[in-house]
Amino acid sequence: MSFVIRASSFISHSSFWLRHSAASLAFILAASFTAAAPAHVDLPTVMKLAGANNDEIQLARVKHTETLAESKLAWQRFWPSLNLGVGYKRHDGNIQDVAGAIFDASKQQYTVGPSVLIDWAPGEIYYAALAAKQKALAAEQLAEKSRRDIVTQATGRYYDLLANEASVAIIEDDLRLTQDYENQLAGAVTAGTAFRADLLRVKTQVSRAKLAIRQEQEKRDLAAAALSETLRLPPQTELRPAKADLVPVRLNGKTGVATLLSQAAQNRPEMKAASAVSTAAQLERDRARIAPLIPSVQAGYSFGGLGGGFNGQMGSFDDTQDMYIGLGWKIGPGGLFDRQRQVIANSREEATQLQTGQIKAAIGREVVEAAAKAQSAHDQIAINDEAVTAAEEMVKLAKERQASQLGVVLEYLLAREELTRARQSRVQSVTNFNKAQHELKRAVGK
């Protein structure tokens, strides 16, 4: 039994969803209908499902859609409003004329026509629209961050599942060989050429191997449940890796830490989002400082027909037009001399700069940790290869000594146990290496 792992690079989320949503949906439906049977998945399928079927990603996308709509709405505030209506007005009783005299009157009027109204605060609208655009860019990058985080989590859990499946295969192989040896030894005991105590020792080893298999199967089932959670598949879905051999997969070239840090600063969506948020804070500061100096504009124009007259008279209908335009400055809160608004804007800008520094430091730590893990796991693979080779030679020699009656059963069992332990250790090293490769890829923003 062998496992083969294929690596898949992170794909741009827009084209990713379009190309693979149909395939992902088909897999989900198939897994739902065949929940009783194990569903075999490979790494590319896991990454597709993780990127297209997770509600955390959908939530980030909804947030981006909301901020994008807010950005468009901010620019639309420059548009004038158009009203079209019909009005009727009547008065009965005393009324005052422009000279101040009071007299009794009964009159009515009706109007028909459109009106165009403008109520602009150009400075406020302009800076608010620019800031909203930057917030939309930040939301877009955070949505991409959520996608990458979920894909990386799914990849790690898939490798855990793969490692547990490989460990089960290793112990099953050891159990098969030990049972064969048990049968041989049982025949020797019957023939009187071997001790029954040695046979019982081998039987104990068989039971220990069966127990280890069951424990590893439990770990595999738990890893499958965790992967199903990330992929948002039905909880009862039994996931199994498509193939069964772990091989080291290098996704990143041999690049120095300084270069990796530079790549992360340029490519990580968190940095792009922080930059957009910082720019939005700068625009809000300019808005508080400059926008109140720009006068607001109120203007209106209406035209149509006006009719009416004394008492019940409904005639005299003819065209009418009205126009108004004015400029003004607001003084006080939200306008000129609002010192506290500027203090708040400056404080928020400083806070975003500090947060950007924290994000950059966290990203640097992630890059260094991922690079260290990848290098350590790579070195451990080489060490474990040596251990596996030595353990295989030790088993071979122990078998030869046992056949020539120069050794004891215990020596052979210990040699096989050491070989199994070395093979399991190598599986874990390869798993850690592959997981570290994906973590490093995410850390540098690829």
For the chain, give the longest Cα–Cα distance: 138
pLDDT value at position 282? 93
* Parent domain of 244: 13-80+122-296+332-443
Question: CATH number, domain at 146?
Answer: 1.20.1600.10
Tens of pLDDT, residue by residue over 347-396, are 999 999 999 999 999 999 999 998 898 889 889 999 999 999 998 888 88
Residue percentage of the chain with pLDDT more than 70: 89
Q: What is the mean pLDDT of residues 295-318?
A: 82
**Element at 43 (helix H, strand E):** helix 43-52
202: CB partners within 8 A, 6+ apart:
178, 181, 182, 185, 409, 413
Q: Kindly state the average pLDDT of the residues 340-345.
A: 89
Residue 30 lies in a domain: yes
| Euclidean distance between CA atoms 220 and 136, whole angstroms | 42
Region label for 334, one of left (φ > 0), alpha (ψ between -120 and 50) or beta (otherwise): left
Gap between the Cα atoms of 419 and 399, Å rounded: 13
User: What is d(CA 77, CA 68) in angstroms, rounded to the nearest whole number?
Assistant: 15
Q: Which of 196-200, 222-226, 331-335 has the highest mean pLDDT?
A: 222-226
Domains identified in the chain, total number: 1
Looking at every residue in the chain, the average pLDDT score rounds to 81
**404 within some domain:** yes
Residue 227 lies in a domain: yes
Asked if residue 19 has pLDDT above 50, the reply is no
Q: How many residues are there in the chain?
A: 446
What pLDDT shows up at residue 244?
54
pLDDT at 7: 35
- Lowest mean per-residue pLDDT among 45-59, 195-209, 259-273, 346-360: 45-59
Structure tokens at 323: 């126009």
How far apart CA 152 and CA 156 sit, in angstroms, is 6
pLDDT digits (tens, 9 = 90+) for 95-109: 888 888 898 888 888
Q: Could you tell me if residue 315 is inside a domain?
A: no
Who's near 174: CB < 8 A, 6+ residues apart? 209, 416, 419, 420
67 lies in some domain: yes
Rounded CA-CA distance 400/422 in Å is 21
Q: Would residue 326 count as lying in a domain?
A: no
* Residue 99, domain member (yes or no): no
216-236 pLDDT, tens per residue?
A: 999 999 999 999 888 888 878
Asked, for residue 385, whether it belongs to a domain, the answer is yes
Residue with tokens 């894909």: 151
* Greater pLDDT, 315 or 326: 326
Integer Cα distance of 366 and 372 in angstroms = 10
Rounded Cα distance, 1 and 167, in Å = 11
CA 326 to chain centre: 50
Kindly report which listed range (49-58, 77-86, 322-331) carries the lowest average pLDDT score: 49-58
